[in-house]
Structure 1
Amino acid sequence: MAEPEEKTPAPPQRPGRGTHLLRWVVGIIVGICIILFIASFFIDEPVRRVIEKKLNTHLVGYTVRLPGLHVRLIGFALTFKGLTIAQKAHPAPPIIEFPILKANVHWREIFSGKLVGELTLIRPKVHVNLAQLKTEVHSNVPVKKRGWQQALEDIYPLKINHVLIKDGDITYLDPDSKLPLRLGHVNFEADNIRNIHLPDRVYPSNFHLDTTVFDSGRGTVDGKANLLAEPVPGVKAHFKLEKVPIDRIKPIIARASLSIQGGQLGTDGAIEYGPKVNTAQIRNLVISGMTVDYIHSAATAAAENRRAAMARQAAKKLSNRPGLLLRMDQMNLTGCTFGMINRNKAAPYRIFISDTNLHLSNFSNQFSQGASTARLTGKFMGTGTTQATAAFRPEKQGPDLDLYVKIDNTQLTGMNELLHSYANFTVTGGTFSLITELHVKNNAVTGYLKPFFKDLQVRHERKGPLHRLYEMLVGGVAKLLENRPRQQVATKADISGPLKSPQTSTWQIIVELVRNAFFKAILPTFEHEARAVKR
């Protein structure tokens, strides 16, 4: 039997030239990467110093601190650590804090043949207090000349095409409030900022924002933008707010002589702002459970006049302004209370409407949008069933208003503060009702106010003879004016004549009606008898 032949092993093949070249190339690339990686740690500090110095040079009115920076030469990336920007006038707290800010090449756009950058901000914080805000507003240096654009170029030399913010925080600290106004968990993303794609579109860049509002509310904004538009950037977006607690702005509106308690807000709408278009539309605004009081006093009188003048100027400027459309399709207020507190009297008083439901529709600054209408129901002084309707149009040649109000069976005992303040007496029983109709057009007003007093009972106490005589006169006048079949006292005040000022706004007319004509019509005989007793 023949033994099998042993096979001679083939000699090892030597690598060809191509394999040697590939190994050399890979080795060189790996070596360069290692060198760049090691070099990154040696150039961190010099680059940090240069960037911090440049930022402080270009930003006017601010101080920049950059404690840490890491340069990643592979990928041309920078990571900023602990970057803060403080206002020189009020350095504490810093206006902006960036715990982590990353700038690198936007690699996705490399395939489009574009070399651009992207920014990623992780947990950034913005702090603003009243002192800092006033400094910003009253600064003589325009925003465009404060160096923000140059500072962005100092941070990263490539044009930024994509921005991503993760879990940001914006806080306003008011000196009169224990709780800050805070937008928390802010997430924002915008792409195609440099208009690489869709350059012919009016708004080529998409963006999204979501945040918590005052801790318990929620807000979202989705839209498109053209951030390179001239002379101003263009934005078109939809917004939505849900469950926003209104009373968190209490310290701010207190400076306008307003007191607010409770309340929750929700709304949605759209805005468009650009070189040629300026529109803001609220589709639906809902406010529930809010109590608001306007507080009038001698100390606030001068400020009230200034605010009224500013409101007149603003209304005149915005009314029927070409190219500007402000519109609210619907507003619904449910379960609210609106009041006025007058502390500018020897005997202060408060009048209010509780359980108020208000529906306002088609409110606009443009006459071409048609009439706005309002319907209100509530309880005057907590007991008087109240109904009101109104129609008004944006002023073109002066205010244009139709108003109808009816109040039934308000318990007079709940109005004792008012009665005592105006006529220096109190009642133990009776009801008050009112019907009023008011028309304003062509700078003239017409209408009437008709109050009714029923079963009026004046309090008789052990007081001086002069006061007892006064109470007797009040009761006597009520008897003389009594409507026997209905056992009620009625009078009527006609209103007619030109407006005192053609520039008076619709809202001012309504306020003046409440502050002046209303009270004079309610207590005409009481005021007359009060003067007679004093004589």
Structure 2
Amino acid sequence: MRQPQKFSERTGRPGWIYAGLVVGLLLLAALVGIFFIDEPLRIYLEERANAGLPGYHVTIGGLELHPLAVSAELRDVTLRRHDSSQAPQVVIPHITTTLQLSSIFSAMMIGDIQIDSPVVSVSQQQIERLLNKDRELVKAHVAAFQNRARQAMPFQTSLSIRNGHINIYGTGATEPLHLQSLSVTAANLTNRQEGGASHPVTWQATAGLNDQTGLEFDGQADVFASPLPKVDSTITAHRLRLTELMPVMQRYNVQIRSGELDLSGTLSQSGEWTTVTLDTLAVQQAAIDVVRPQGGWQPVQKTPSSNDKSKPASRNPYLRITVEHGQLSDSEFGFIDKATSREYRVFLSDTNVQLEHVSNRQEDGTATVELNGKFMGHGPTVIRGAIRPGQSAPDFDLNVRIIRTKVVSLNNVLQAYGHLDVTDGTFAFFSELSVRGDKITGYVKPFFKDVEIYDPQQDKEKALAQRAYEATVGGIVDLLKSDSRKEVATKTTVSGSIQDARIDIPHIIGKLIQNAFFNAVLPGLEKHKA
């Protein structure tokens, strides 16, 4: 019988072992080559980034390719302005890009981009310069970017940002407004739209100003819309602490001591239009003061440039802001004057405000405001107003009623303006004002009762009516007509023209109140002081 043939060691060694060794050596050579190509590729990417961002300098600390995972990592990416000696505006410790292996053999590259712990630092001035750029120039830059993206290899990717931080530095502020725990996810980022979809990208973002605040965005975007990308998103803010806004509010002479904000609404960017609609806006337990600095108010700024983006929101034809319903509850609002010989503060406490249909657009109709509070902590106060937005000058009606206010609570004011010290008395104030175009009409009517000044020689009530008609609206109107009589209650007619049509509603009201209380009443008290 024939025995089966046995393979010797030589004849039994399969050929694929040799092939495997060859392939292994080739892979090893490829890996070694990839290792050495990391640095040239990093330099190339850095040069391309700097060429595409004039005025900025980009650095890439490291690049590492992972061929088996079909991914690449960028480390310590920074961006700073050429003319800035400050810290970089953008710092990204880690970026990972991953490509689906199967897409290498298809007509579209499919992958993912993940950005970890980025930090963006920017100033209010830089944001304003960005918003104030020439609109046609911005559209040209956007169109050029869109064209380059369309001509690139077809791609589809998702983007995720984890644990991001944004610092916004206000003018004169030592600490920035800090947006933390930023998380962004975006799906279906592609340069090839299918079926003419108008919003191919879906995205969500969350962030906070502290551990308790929640900001949420959820929407869609069309990156290739013309003339500008299109965005639709919902907006939600929960328990936003108003004190976190101080770094960007200091430039407006505003002090915020407490308060929380909740809001919900939508944001839309379509073409040249930006629309913000807040369905609800609620502020609880706010404590806010407007401060007149020692040097007084700054002069009124020059008329904004012809660039509509630089204009105030109320006069920007491409911006629409609407608050359907707003509510401020259990709050306190004050005015601190540091420009007088003695610093003083007047305020409204226990304040509740209702806002309905507030907008910056004339076609949205009249907004209504109603305020209930306590002047100087005890004088019941009701203020009702109707605001007609979108005019070239302020346009509103105002009704004010303040009663049973203790005059002694105004002693700091009396001492600042008249060097007086009141020990007793009550005060009330009534006013109706209407501003249309550049014309203001109405009246102010203060009441005083049982006023006692710390001076036994003083005829206490005689002085109060004598100068109530003078300067009540000085600096706002150029014509006053008074029907005042020498009695405790004096009604002063207000009629005239607003001298500066650019002045806003709060400044008009503030100036009227300041002059009605201080410039008109106090000189009369001082004149009759013994």
Q: TM-score, normalised by structure 2?
A: 0.80
State the Cα distance separating 1:494 from its structure 2 match.
1.8
325, 329, 333: which is aligned to 1:334? 329
Aligned-pair CA distance for 1:416: 0.8
CA distance in 2, matches of 1:77, 1:27: 26
8 A Cα contact 1:449 1:492, kept in partner: yes
Pick from 191, 207, 210 the counterpart of residue 211 of structure 1: 207
Seen in structure 2, the aligned counterparts of structure 1 residues 321 and 90 have a Cα distance that, compared at 3 Å, is closer
Q: Match for residue 424 of structure 1?
A: 419
2:470 counterpart residue number? none
Q: Any stretches of 5+ residues in structure 2 without a counterpart?
A: 7-13, 468-486
Instruction: Please identify, of 47-56 and 266-275, the stretch whose mean Cα deviation from structure 2 is larger.
Output: 47-56
User: Equivalent of 1:394, from 341, 366, 389?
Assistant: 389
Separation (CA, whole Å) in 1 of partners of 2:510 and 2:281 = 23
Deviation, structure 1 residue 180: 3.7
Large movers: runs of 4+ above 6 Å = 7-12, 20-31, 108-112, 130-140, 142-146, 313-317, 478-481
How do 1:309-324 and structure 2 match up within 5 A?
319=314, 324=319
Q: Is the 8 A contact 2:449 2:461 kept in 1?
A: no
Is the 1:272–1:280 contact (alpha carbons within 8 Å) kept by the matching residues of 2? yes
Compare 325-334 and 409-418 and name the one that shifted more. 325-334
Change (3 A) 1:416 1:453: same
CA contact (8 A) 2:413 2:518 kept: no
Partner of 1:114: 108
User: In structure 2, which of residues 384, 407, 410 is the aligned counterpart of residue 412 of structure 1?
Assistant: 407
Deviations along 1:364-411, whole A, 9 cap, x unmatched? 122222210111111101111111111111144754322111112111
Deviation at 1:353, TM superposition (A): 0.9
Aligned partner of 1:473 among 441, 459, 464: 459
Instruction: Determine helix, strand or coil for the equivalent of 1:416.
Output: helix
Alignment partner, residue 342 of structure 2:
347
Out of 374-383 and 252-261, give the one that drifted further: 252-261
Structure whose CA Rg is larger: 1
Which residue does the alignment assign to 2:474?
A: none
Q: Give the number of equivalent residue pairs.
A: 496
The counterpart of 1:236, out of the listed 229, 232, 239, is 232
Are 1:360 and 2:355 an aligned pair?
yes
Which residue of 2 is the match for residue 63 of structure 1? Answer: 57
Task: State the 1:64 CA deviation.
Answer: 2.8
What percentage of aligned pairs have identical amino acids?
26
Given the alignment of the two structures, is residue 447 of structure 1 paired with residue 447 of structure 2, yes or no?
no
2:95–2:116 Cα contact (<8 Å) kept:
yes
For the 8 Å contact 2:109–2:156, the answer to whether it is kept is no
Partner SS, residue 300 of structure 2: helix
Q: 1:385 aligned to 377, 380, 385, which one? A: 380
The code of the aligned residue for 2:67 comes to L
Does the aligned pair in 2 maintain the 1:286–1:333 contact within 8 Å?
yes
2:157: which partner in 1? 161
2:109 alignment partner, SS class: coil
Mark the CA change 1:396 to 1:530 in structure 2 (over 3 Å): closer, same or farther.
same
* 2:158 is the counterpart of 1:172: no
Q: Is the 8 A contact 2:74 2:95 kept in 1?
A: yes
Q: CA RMSD in A?
A: 4.2
Q: Measure, in 2, the Cα distance between the counterparts of 1:447 and 1:354.
A: 26
Q: Tell me the distance in 2 between the aligned counterparts of 1:217 and 1:383.
A: 33
Greater percentage in helix: 1
Q: Does 1:490 align with 2:489?
A: yes
- Cα distance in 1 for partners of 2:371, 2:364 equals 22
Deviation at 1:77, TM superposition (A): 2.8
* Structure 1 spans left out of the alignment, 5+ residues: 1-6, 13-19, 462-467, 482-487
Distance 1:133 1:231 in 2: 21
Counterpart contact for 1:36–1:73, Cα < 8 Å = no
Moved more, 195-204 or 107-116: 107-116
> How far apart, CA to CA, are the structure 2 residues paired with 1:23 and 1:199?
51
Secondary structure of the residue aligned to 1:255 is helix
CA distance in 2, matches of 1:164, 1:241: 21
TM-score (norm 1): 0.79
Q: 1:324 and 1:520 mapped to 2: Cα distance?
A: 39
Matched, 1:527 2:527: no
Residue 271 of structure 2 is matched in structure 1 by 275
